[in-house]
A = this chain, B = another copy of it.
Amino acid sequence: MSSETDFLDWVRTQQYFLDYVRVAVGDDLAVLKWPAQDLLLVGVDQVLDGVHFDSRVHSPRLIGRKVMNRNFSDCAAMGCLPAAALTSVALPRGAGIDYAKELYLGLRDVADRWVCGIIGGDTASWDQKLALSVTVLGRSEGVEPITRSGAKVGDGIYVTGPLGGSIVGRHMTFEPRVKWGRELAESRTVNSMIDVSDGLSRDLPRICAASGVGAVIDAARIPLHPDAVELSKRDGKSPLMHALHDGEDHELLFTSSADWSARWPRIGTAISDPGVWIVESGSRRRLEARGWDHSL
């Protein structure tokens, strides 16, 4: 039977040179010389079997990609560039070294597109299901990171793509909007940004709460993903309900003083009154937060 040590020996053969990494995988900690002019952005995001994926259906390669894409989507939402990642893997006992390699290669598929080194990790096995966590380090490289807290009254509210129904399949295969996040940050007209991971009805209030503003959105302008329409046929909920409340869209939701409507739909406006409102068929009601929230 293969062991953690065999796996680590293999991982070491997969490393490549990065100028800011002095010591990578294989010591107690990795050692980096962070570029002096760059801010360091850092966050962690995990995926769990039975919650974020189903190991009976999804390949380890796809699972590895998903968790890395989730982290890169956080980079996108701040306007930074992924620079390095670390991973922590709790493998079901007996999964085998090939399964572990496929997970790693899934991480690498995504990481390699942005020259992001995987510079550390921890691998263990247990008698439970797969848990996979990634820490991402991002660099600001010339932009001021966009937080959730800078929205200003009068800002337009935009979303970079259609929402809803990701569970149909694309929650495993979405594209993190790193390039668009950079572009938006470089424009210096974007005041706040988040990626839609827990559903619009949960993520928009986060911007509002952090920024001390309210928001009103127009139901007719919310872009509906074909998956939301598809899911609507199956479960009878409206496509709009899916677009508002489903999670894992990983589109960027941002507010800006500039007009981006030639490119992406403007779905609403930041207002001074607190609260998040939706206008539908001429009437305005409070937008209830129903998106994803783990009960503890």
Contacts and interface: CB of A to CB of B under 8 A. Distances in A.
B195 A296 contact: no
Q: Please tell me how many copies of the chain the complex holds.
A: 2
Contact of A86 (B33, B42, B96, B148): B42
A7 B137 CA distance: 24
Given A31-B145, A138-B29, A44 B1 contact: no
Interface in A61-119: 74-75, 77-78, 80, 84, 86-88, 90-91, 93-97, 99-100, 119
B124 A86 contact: no
A232 interface: no
Interface residues of A, number: 79
A295 interface: yes
A293 B43 contact: no
A75 B26 contact: no
Contacts of A195: 28
A276 to B, nearest CB: 15
Interface of A: 1-7, 22-23, 26-34, 36, 39-46, 48-52, 74-75, 77-78, 80, 84, 86-88, 90-91, 93-97, 99-100, 119-129, 131, 133, 135-138, 140, 145, 147-149, 194-195, 210, 293-296
